[in-house]
Structure 1
Amino acid sequence: MGEALEAVNSFIAASAAAPWALGAVFLLAILDAVLPPLPSEGLVITLAAFGAATASPNLILLGAVATVGAWVGDNLTYTVARHSPLRRLRDTERARLRRAFHFASRELHQRSAVIIVVGRYIPVGRVAVNVTAGAGRFARPRFMALTALAAASWAAYAVTIGALAGAWVEENTLLGAVAGIAVAVLLGVAVDQLVRRLTPATPGAP
């Protein structure tokens, strides 16, 4: 068992140092702006854990790539929502997703900075905010600026969690990466629950 874990550690460490690793972060960060199940956050945390232990990849470069990828993904989703039927997601029959869109629409008019930044930490909220902003004709320059702030804070958060977890479990970087992802998931669930408490139930929704 110990040899197997060591082999996995060695494989991930070698992959983390490969040039394509940052490319994978960039691509996943773009795609998960509209496809939440994609594990961009987990990948950033894992690479950060190994980066803290082995100095590869460079944590600053990792954070920069994740930031740019997240920003591109958010703004791509905004653009697609503005010019496609994607806006119809707002009327989905899925109660949770519909509530997220209604909440995003209301909050974008009242406290756009907060909802755009907070939404980046919640997969469903991220899509709801991006689509609602695009479909609702939210000012593009303001959206670009706020998503830049949101992407930078999200990337810094993911890299920091990964680096701290990797340093905390120095003898097993893979375990540190898993611990970091677990912490991120718990924080995400906590934020999601808070947002759901603040989201009014939609009539007829379960």
Structure 2
Amino acid sequence: MDVVTDLILQAVASPWLLPVMFAAAVIDGFFPPIPSETLLVAAAAVAAATGDVPTLVALCLVAALGAAIGDNIAYAIGRRVGTQRYGWMRRRRVAAAFERARAALTTRGASLILGARYIPVGRVAVNMSAGALGYPWRRFAPLSVVGGMSWALYSVAIGTLAGQWLGHQPVLSAVIGVVLALGVGIIIDRIAALRRRAREIPETIEPEPVSATLRA
């Protein structure tokens, strides 16, 4: 974790920040271990703490564009390889995420694609499943743009809040912003899990046969 934090802080201070942010957002769309949210929040916190508004705007734009491209790459991968070809796809947690995505895409595709953008593993599963299951790209593409922009605005807002709160302490602002973003992400993931369980419970309860009720 310390190594990741050091790398993020080095990227924030680098003149290559915007290209790095763009690349991280693209890769994170189909490879979750790349911490694009963490980098974006940390960079936004530093920019806000130093009053660098142009960098804040640029960060939001390049992150949104990268996120949309990354999500479409995940869709294309799903279209090409499906969701069963590689071993990591068949791991219990990943396979379960794919299965939930399959069940939900047909009934609430738009809300699922937009909501999954905020959950690192969830968005890869949903977007790859959308491609593998033939969800129309003409619907997916504009949703990916909207999702990327809303995600970027949300992450920059958290970083800006931390940066303004701590004033002229950019490094501490970055750390606090990352912690806050992780906390919000965990809350979103828990709420999604609770809603999912609430929908699954009624499906597992079978009504008692009428004949048995009458005999009783």
Q: Which category describes the TM-score, using the shorter chain as reference length?
A: 0.7 to 0.9
1:47-73 Cα shifts (integer Å, max 9, x gaps): 111111221662111100000000000
Matched, 1:37 2:33: yes
Q: 1:85, CA displacement in angstroms?
A: 4.8
Among candidates 93, 96, 102, match of residue 96 of structure 1: 93
Residue identity (%): 39
Contact 1:48 1:57 survives alignment (8 Å): no
TM-score normalized by structure 2?
0.80
Change (3 A) 1:89 1:184: farther
User: C-alpha displacement at 1:196, in angstroms?
Assistant: 2.5
TM-score, structure 1 as length reference = 0.84
Which of the pair has more CA radius of gyration? Answer: 2
In structure 1, list runs of 5 or more residues that go unmatched.
Answer: 1-7, 202-206
CA apart distance, 1:169: 0.7
* Aligned amino acid, residue 75 of structure 1: N
* Equivalent in 114, 117, 122 of residue 114 of structure 2: 117
- Cα shift at 1:190: 1.4
Report the Cα distance in structure 1 between the residues aligned to 2:73 and 2:126, rounded to whole angstroms: 13
Gaps of 5+ in 2: 1-5, 202-216
Aligned 8 A contact 1:80 1:134 in 2: yes
C-alpha contact 1:87 1:131 (8 A) present in aligned 2: no
Whole-angstrom CA distance in 2 between matches of 1:108 and 1:146:
13
8 Å CA contact retained: 2:83, 2:98? no
What corresponds to 1:142 in structure 2?
139
Query: What root-mean-square deviation, in Å, do the aligned CA atoms of Structure 1 and Structure 2 show?
Result: 2.4
Residue type of the alignment partner of 2:105: L
Question: Hey, what's the Cα distance between the residues in 2 that align with 1:12 and 1:79?
Answer: 32
**Bigger CA drift: 159-168 or 75-84?**
75-84
User: Greater shift after overlay, 51-60 or 27-36?
Assistant: 51-60
- Structural mapping, 1:38-187, within 5 Å: 38-54=34-50, 55=52, 58-88=55-85, 92-187=89-184
Query: Take 1:159 and 1:102, find their aligned partners in 2: how far apart are those partners?
Result: 32
User: Structure 2 vs 1, CA of residues 33 and 56 (structure 1 numbering), >3 Å: closer, same or farther?
Assistant: same
Specify whether residues 177 and 190 from structure 1 end up closer, same or farther in structure 2 by C-alpha distance, changes over 3 A only.
same
Residue 75 of structure 2 contacts residue 130 of structure 2 at CA under 8 Å; is this kept in 1? Answer: yes
Q: Distance in 2 between matches of 1:14 and 1:32?
A: 17
Name the aligned partner's letter for residue 114 of structure 2: V
> What CA deviation, in whole Å up to 9, does each residue of 1:117-163 have, x standing for no partner?
11011111011111100100000010001111110010000111001
**What amino acid maps onto 2:20 in structure 1?**
A
1:15 matches 2:13? yes
Q: Contact (CA 8 Å) 1:29, 1:73: kept in 2 or not?
A: yes
Give, in whole Å, the separation in 2 of the partners of 1:39 and 1:49.
16
